[in-house]
Amino acid sequence: MAKTAVKVKKASSSVKRSIQPKGKAKKTRVAKAPVVRRYKCLYCNYIYSPLRGEPHNGIPEGTEFDDLPDTYVCPICGYEGKGKIGTWGFEEWKPTKYICSMCGYIYDEARGEPHHGIKPGTKFDDLPDDYRCPVCALDPKITKFFGKVLKQGFDAIDVV
């Protein structure tokens, strides 16, 4: 008897159950992608992202903006001599454009990708987890050497 998979939705997360021939179910949790909150300096437009942190300033990746030390200073403003711009000089920034790290393709939320079934206005975070860069997907050399370029291969950019 072959195993079959059944997907059950719950309010907080998805649970995948594979039905065993003897009636025993095995559960595995499918984690949702975390929402990343980025902050932009109001003076120099530097963007702080917890995904990368600032290891050169002793702030490890994964450090949320609210958890930065009281002595935090914008690394660009401090370097350029604009003064000590602390966390008070930042505001939350929500990107609307993302660039593929392999080929430079830009996904624009306002434009979407109607030719691939993605409606204009679709948020990057709402794209399916198996979303692939449409340019890299067409290039056999990239696919051969680097594999599929998924959502994780895109970085947020600050372009008007």
What would the pLDDT profile of 126-160 be if each residue is shown by its tens digit?
Answer: 998 888 888 888 888 887 887 778 888 888 887 65
Q: What is the pLDDT of residue 29?
A: 47
- Give the tens place of pLDDT for each residue, 9-65: 444 444 444 444 555 545 444 445 567 788 988 888 888 988 888 988 889 988 999
- Closest among 17, 25, 23, 16 to 1, alpha carbons compared: 23
pTM for this structure? 0.56
* Strands (E) located in 3-153: 4-9, 14-19, 25-30, 38-41, 47-48, 90-93, 97-100, 106-108
Handedness of CA 105, 109, 113, 118 (dihedral sign): positive
